[in-house]
Chains A and B, each alone.
Chain A
Amino acid sequence: MVVSKMNALRWNSRNTRGYLRSARAAAPALFLLTAGLVFSTVFPAEGSADRNSDNLSAVLLDLAVHDPAEGEGAPLRLRAYIASILNDAGARAETEASLAAFLETGASLSGKQAVCRALRLIGSDISLPVLSEMLSRAETSDMARYALESIPGNKADEALLSALETCEGDLKLGVISSLGARKSKAAVPVLARIARTGDSDAAAAAIEALGLIGDAGAADALRNTLGTSGGELKAAAGAALLACADGFLRAGSPSEAAGIYNSLFLENISPALRAAAFQGKAAAFPGDAPKLIRDTLASPDTSLHADAASLIPRLFDAETVGPILPLFENLSEEGRIPFIAALSNFPSSAVLAAVLHAAGDPSIGVRIEALKTLEAVGDASTVLFLAERAAATRGAEQTAARESLWRLRGEESESALFDLIGRVEDEKILGEIILAAGERRLEGAKETLVRIAATAPSAVRLQAARALKHIASPADMDVLLDLMLSSDDAAVREELLTTISLVSRVIPRPGMRSSLIRTRLNNETDRDRRASLYRLLGRIGDDASLPIVRKALADPNPAAAEAAARTMFDWPSPAARDDVLELARTSSSLTLRVLAIRAFVRMISLEPHRAPKGAVSDLTEAFSLCERPEEKRLVLGALPHFPCAEALDLAASLLEDDTVRAEALAAIDRIRERMRIP
């Protein structure tokens, strides 16, 4: 298949001008042709009583002089018109006649293409003569097929076959492709002949078409081609023949299919074709397939091990899979991984033993797959093994062990997990078990986890704090707050902070999510604890808490005031925007001023749909407060989100600033782009 880069037939606005001239001249005649057909043109608009109306003659007049530069307006009107007459046989016939007549005029090519695409839906024998005639003309051949390919009946096939005698080059390839798409049995002898010709492009097209037709005649032709061709044509013939075989199989002719699969398997044209033929062989006779799979897996030829293993789920059952388990030892790594994966479908004690054995394989890929498979074939006895493996490994192997532990099936597995929380002493393994209890939302373990989070060694406490976020409810927030405020471990406090903020989200009324924390703040005097509570308020982001944080900004204790300021900076909604701006203006600490500017810019960006002028005004103010280039760049980065003249002015005013000139230029480009300024 060769794509012609110099194909002058790819019409464009310029080379349709000649057609336009002739079409304009023909327009009155066209009008006369179609004037008798006046139908309301409607798309099925949504419940609208006031439908758009149009008539065919008006649409065709526009299409006759249609220039591609005019866009899709007229073609869409024709589509709407076609939809409006679709259920009226008489109107369809009359419309088709008008469209066929249109195609005989000197109308523009883009207009004719629109008409051909309308005929895709309503074309019939009426338009066949003109479409047939268009097939052999370079500028109309493709568009004729857009209609012809969907017209039912032998006459359309005959038209395409007849065109084969006159078409050459790309046109011929197009016609061949349409015959294939139509599954035209009548075309098989001709296509068979073309497939054997020296014209390799046409031969390749004919081979593909024969593969799509897929009947016995097509398969015979492809067998012949396979025997006489080489290189890419042979590969194409093999692929097409394979498609025929699949068709035979679907049609209930497994013997015919198997013959093809066997010959393609032996022919070994390419590894992909051989593997596909192997798969076909197994599908053709499922009764014999288990032996085929066994023999392949036992073979020293490893090239099909993975393909054979991947077929196990389809061809084996819980009983028959047992005898093939020892074949694992014979397999290459590429075969072992899918072999173990395939066992997921057959949980049994024998399979479990095999998978546990594979979990000790020297290949990390095999070990990971075995750990994944344990999710499906493991049971209560596997819980400790998975926890141990998760504790002892890292990366993908650890993830596989953890996820299987989290998703292991059966009530007994959960009981085993629960029991192990009280029995396991190794901190890492216990940590994995606790993590799993959380992921599995073992509510019965909540009290135990709270106790562990308060008293256990640090690493285990951290896992318990993490697990509680899945199990705890708003009713537990008091307990969790006690845990957080009493913890002497920063990592555990941080984890509990996350846990409490997540649990608070379950409270349906946003204004109530922080109420408990606000109450605690009223009674808490310890500076560090108050700081933690402020941070929690920020994390929850309940706007009802803002007045409290605001008040804390004026706390005489500098540490408490700073904690409140940092809470403001983290505030997840723009409600704190004015507060952080004030901090950016007034804070005596450079660090806090910088953080305030960053928070202010972030909050402005949280409202992308604000009127651009207002947002740019805020950004201008932010810019005036910037003391370092880093923050100036931040402001310039946000500016293009609000494209307007003021944004351009601000960016342009910074072109003289050496420290941010590049960013200012980039901002100007992006703003102009968004404002569609060329």
Chain B
Amino acid sequence: MKRRAFLKTASLAAAGLAGFPAIVPASAMGKDGAVAPSNRIAMAGIGYGMQGFPNMRGFLEKNEVRWVAVCDVDDSPLQKACDIVNDHYGDSGCAAYRDFRELCLRKDIDAVSIAVPDHWHAVISISCARAGWDIYGEKPLAHSLREGQAVCEAVERYGRVWQTGSWQRSVENFHRACELVLNGRLGKILSIEVGLPSGHTDFARTFGREDLVPPPPNLDYDFWVGPAPWHPYCKARVHMNWRWNMDFGGGQLMDWVGHHVDIAHWGMGWDDTGPVTVEGTGEFPTSGIYNSPTRYRVTAVYPDGTPMVIAGGHPDIWSGTKWIGERGWIWVDRGEFETEPAGLKRETIGPEEIRLDRSRDHNQNFLDCIRSRRPAIAPCRTAHRSATVGHLGVAAIETGRKIRWDPANETLIGDPDAERLLSRAYRSPWRLPA
């Protein structure tokens, strides 16, 4: 790891001052199950408004990780994150940054966990790829479809390992359901139903706090808004609940498309393709600061003619992913896995059948792949493909049209209007890095 070179320099400097230490503890040499410091993966975290904390805690559990830096535009969670790291290691070695660009200048970091609002995903992800870091990034991959393509290109250009926070891929029931579907247990798949949440969820318990007030001194609000269109500060539009305003997030559809549509794709072997047509309808709030659909229904048809209905707030579509085939159905959700016929779920995947990559620990899978350079279980391009369905769905709702899409070339067919909705201009001085 890069830290090795850093530590080498540091230890040389120390040797000049104090000579070689008389006793080197076994743990420092990687004995007794410990990981030698030189072999640890040096990680940093960017974004502690919500998911950054659980993601970081998951990595702190791993002996092979040394968390070296945290970054956020809000001093309050930044300090909390820094304290968690320092308490964990019993030292004060964690550095805190407000500006991710300063963090990106560090040479001793191997990987980063990014959990920022959607409108920041692309800029920060590409900057980190350019720094040569492997990336654990949250879904959806990017705030717009064209940004998503740019992120994929950068990650591939710099040969980075990318793990998306689509952690359902690392859970047994989802994996098993997908293997059954992929191995034809349902016969030909006739349709797929994906049920997502509806409405808006008050993650931060700030609903109703829409009064425009000065931002708190601990928050660099201008930086927080970053490349998104300007909106004056109000508490209900920042941490966690930004998701319900389309300038910062993509509503329930974009929040969840990277989970249940991702699983639908996995089961169908569609990780590197997408729909050929997408149409949809949505219902929007009529007042307040949120403008993402509260109820929606999108139908995407794939190259083999299979339709996938993605809906929120439609009771006929069960939450989770349901594949309906000639011989029955398989439904999977968090903590749920049902089949028709019921015996299907106990069927064995034979030794000659298709086996999907297996992960039972999403964070560990990322760390393993950093060392092996294998693709992680939820790689960048895969995340882009699931997000694409959401982006096209949003465009279909906005234009009221059936959108025709060429999944091989990732281009719209004959719809220059919809094309305009697949990218966004950035507020100055921000820009998408090349």
Contacts from A to B (Cβ < 8 Å): 1-5, 7, 10-13, 43-47, 68-69, 71-73, 75-76, 79-80, 83-84, 86-87, 113, 117, 120-122, 141-143, 145-146, 148-150, 152, 170-171, 173-178, 180-181, 201, 205, 207-212, 214, 239-240, 242-243, 246, 270-272, 275-276, 279-280, 306-307, 309-310, 334, 337-338, 340-342, 344, 364-365, 369, 372, 395, 403, 407-411, 413-414, 440-441, 443, 473, 506, 508, 673-674, 676
Bound form: Cα–Cα A69–B423 in Å: 27
In the complex, are the beta carbons of B223 and A146 less than 8 A apart? no
In the complex, are the beta carbons of B283 and A46 less than 8 A apart? yes
Interface residues of B in 407-434 (CB under 8 A from A): 416-417, 420-421, 423-434
In the complex, are the beta carbons of A69 and B211 less than 8 A apart? yes
In the complex, are the beta carbons of B434 and A408 less than 8 A apart? no
Q: Which residues of B contact A141 (CB under 8 A)?
A: 428
**For the complex, is B83 an interface residue (Cβ under 8 Å from A)?**
no
In the complex, are the beta carbons of B212 and A174 less than 8 A apart? no
CB distance from A361 to the nearest CB of B (A): 13
In the complex, are the beta carbons of A10 and B287 less than 8 A apart? no
Q: Which residues of B contact A276 (CB under 8 A)?
A: 157-159
Bound form: Cα–Cα A369–B343 in Å: 36
- Given A120-B421, A120-B425, A242-B157, list of 17 further CB < 8 A pairs? A1-B430, A4-B429, A5-B220, A72-B245, A76-B285, A86-B417, A113-B229, A117-B229, A149-B425, A170-B429, A243-B434, A310-B159, A337-B373, A338-B372, A341-B374, A506-B343, A676-B207
**For the complex, is B25 an interface residue (Cβ under 8 Å from A)?**
no
Nearest neighbor of B284 in chain A, beta-carbon distance: A76
Query: Which of the residues A145, A214, A337, A676 comes within 8 Å of B425, measured between beta carbons?
Result: A145
Q: Which residues of B contact A44 (CB under 8 A)?
A: 281, 397, 400
Q: Which residues of A contact B169 (CB under 8 A)?
A: none
Q: Which residues of A contact B421 (CB under 8 A)?
A: 120-121
**For the complex, is B130 an interface residue (Cβ under 8 Å from A)?**
yes
Mask of B203-243 contacts with A, CB within 8 angstroms, 1/0: 00101101110000000101101000111110000000000
Nearest neighbor of A441 in chain B, beta-carbon distance: B348
Mask of B336-358 contacts with A, CB within 8 angstroms, 1/0: 00000011001010011001001
In the complex, are the beta carbons of A43 and B430 less than 8 A apart? no
Q: Which residues of A contact B289 (CB under 8 A)?
A: 71-72
Bound form: Cα–Cα A563–B221 in Å: 60
Q: Which residues of B contact A407 (CB under 8 A)?
A: 355, 358
Bound form: Cα–Cα A10–B226 in Å: 12
Q: Which residues of A contact B1 (CB under 8 A)?
A: 334
With contact pairs A120-B420, A243-B157 given, residues A177 and B207 touching in the complex (Cβ less than 8 Å): no
CB distance from A80 to the nearest CB of B (A): 8
Bound form: Cα–Cα A75–B1 in Å: 50
In the complex, are the beta carbons of B297 and A46 less than 8 A apart? yes
In the complex, are the beta carbons of B132 and A270 less than 8 A apart? yes
Mask of B256-295 contacts with A, CB within 8 angstroms, 1/0: 0000000000000000000000000111111111110001
Bound form: Cα–Cα A316–B248 in Å: 44
Instruction: Decide if the interface of chain B is mainly helix, strand, loop or mixed.
Output: loop
**For the complex, is B399 an interface residue (Cβ under 8 Å from A)?**
yes
A-B pairs with the 10 shortest C-beta distances?
A211-B434, A272-B132, A174-B428, A12-B232, A310-B373, A177-B431, A44-B400, A341-B372, A338-B373, A441-B348
**For the complex, is B131 an interface residue (Cβ under 8 Å from A)?**
yes
Bound form: Cα–Cα A177–B434 in Å: 11
In the complex, are the beta carbons of A395 and B33 less than 8 A apart? yes
CB distance from B229 to the nearest CB of A (A): 6
Bound form: Cα–Cα A601–B33 in Å: 40
Q: Which residues of A contact B417 (CB under 8 A)?
A: 86, 121-122
**For the complex, is B75 an interface residue (Cβ under 8 Å from A)?**
no
Bound form: Cα–Cα A658–B159 in Å: 59
In the complex, are the beta carbons of B131 and A272 less than 8 A apart? yes
Mask of B114-152 contacts with A, CB within 8 angstroms, 1/0: 000000000000000011100000000000000000000
**For the complex, is B183 an interface residue (Cβ under 8 Å from A)?**
no
Query: Which of the residues B282, B284, B429, B434 comes within 8 Å of A3, measured between beta carbons?
Result: B429
Bound form: Cα–Cα A243–B130 in Å: 11
Contact size class for B? Answer: 35 or more
Which among B290, B355, B398 has the highest number of chain A CB atoms within 10 Å? B398
Q: Which residues of B contact A171 (CB under 8 A)?
A: 428
Q: Which residues of B contact A410 (CB under 8 A)?
A: 351-352
In the complex, are the beta carbons of B423 and A150 less than 8 A apart? yes
Nearest neighbor of B423 in chain A, beta-carbon distance: A181
**For the complex, is B106 an interface residue (Cβ under 8 Å from A)?**
no
Contacts from B to A (Cβ < 8 Å): 1-2, 30, 33, 39, 101, 130-132, 153, 157-159, 205, 207-208, 210-212, 220, 222-223, 225, 229-233, 245, 281-291, 295, 297, 342-343, 346, 348, 351-352, 355, 358, 371-374, 397-401, 416-417, 420-421, 423-434
Nearest neighbor of A275 in chain B, beta-carbon distance: B159
Q: Which residues of B contact A11 (CB under 8 A)?
A: 230, 232
Bound form: Cα–Cα A617–B421 in Å: 53
Which among B153, B159, B231, B245 has the highest number of chain A CB atoms within 10 Å? B159
CB distance from A502 to the nearest CB of B (A): 10
Q: Which residues of B contact A10 (CB under 8 A)?
A: 222, 225, 230, 232
Q: Which residues of A contact B159 (CB under 8 A)?
A: 275-276, 279, 307, 310
Sample (7) of A-B pairs whose CB atoms are under 8 Å apart: A142-B425, A152-B416, A176-B431, A178-B425, A208-B431, A239-B433, A276-B157
CB distance from A245 to the nearest CB of B (A): 9
Bound form: Cα–Cα A270–B157 in Å: 14
In the complex, are the beta carbons of A12 and B233 less than 8 A apart? yes
Bound form: Cα–Cα A87–B281 in Å: 17
Which among B1, B230, B346, B424 has the highest number of chain A CB atoms within 10 Å? B230
CB distance from A260 to the nearest CB of B (A): 12
CB distance from B277 to the nearest CB of A (A): 15
Q: Which residues of B contact A411 (CB under 8 A)?
A: 351-352
Bound form: Cα–Cα A403–B284 in Å: 48
Query: Which of the residues B158, B428, B430 comes within 8 Å of A275, measured between beta carbons?
Result: B158
With contact pairs A86-B400, A369-B371, A369-B372 given, residues A173 and B428 touching in the complex (Cβ less than 8 Å): yes
CB distance from B238 to the nearest CB of A (A): 14
Q: Which residues of B contact A676 (CB under 8 A)?
A: 205, 207-208
Q: Which residues of A contact B355 (CB under 8 A)?
A: 407, 409
Nearest neighbor of A244 in chain B, beta-carbon distance: B434
In the complex, are the beta carbons of B230 and A113 less than 8 A apart? yes
Q: Which residues of A contact B282 (CB under 8 A)?
A: 43
Q: Which residues of B contact A443 (CB under 8 A)?
A: 348
In the complex, are the beta carbons of A5 and B222 less than 8 A apart? yes
With contact pairs A306-B373, A676-B207 given, residues A205 and B429 touching in the complex (Cβ less than 8 Å): yes
Q: Which residues of A contact B342 (CB under 8 A)?
A: 506, 508
CB distance from A500 to the nearest CB of B (A): 15
Bound form: Cα–Cα A372–B432 in Å: 38
With contact pairs A44-B281, A121-B420 given, residues A309 and B351 touching in the complex (Cβ less than 8 Å): no
CB distance from A622 to the nearest CB of B (A): 26
In the complex, are the beta carbons of B231 and A68 less than 8 A apart? yes
Bound form: Cα–Cα A75–B246 in Å: 12
Nearest neighbor of B348 in chain A, beta-carbon distance: A441
In the complex, are the beta carbons of A337 and B372 less than 8 A apart? yes
Bound form: Cα–Cα A84–B286 in Å: 17
Bound form: Cα–Cα A7–B232 in Å: 13
CB distance from B159 to the nearest CB of A (A): 5
In the complex, are the beta carbons of B372 and A208 less than 8 A apart? no
In the complex, are the beta carbons of A146 and B229 less than 8 A apart? yes
Bound form: Cα–Cα A270–B212 in Å: 45
Query: Which of the residues B33, B287, B373, B426 comes within 8 Å of A71, measured between beta carbons?
Result: B287
CB distance from A151 to the nearest CB of B (A): 8
Q: Which residues of A contact B245 (CB under 8 A)?
A: 72
Q: Which residues of B contact A242 (CB under 8 A)?
A: 157
Q: Which residues of A contact B222 (CB under 8 A)?
A: 3-5, 7, 10
CB distance from B297 to the nearest CB of A (A): 7
Bound form: Cα–Cα A148–B431 in Å: 16
Bound form: Cα–Cα A365–B153 in Å: 30
Q: Which residues of A contact B290 (CB under 8 A)?
A: 72
With contact pairs A411-B352, A413-B351 given, residues A73 and B431 touching in the complex (Cβ less than 8 Å): no
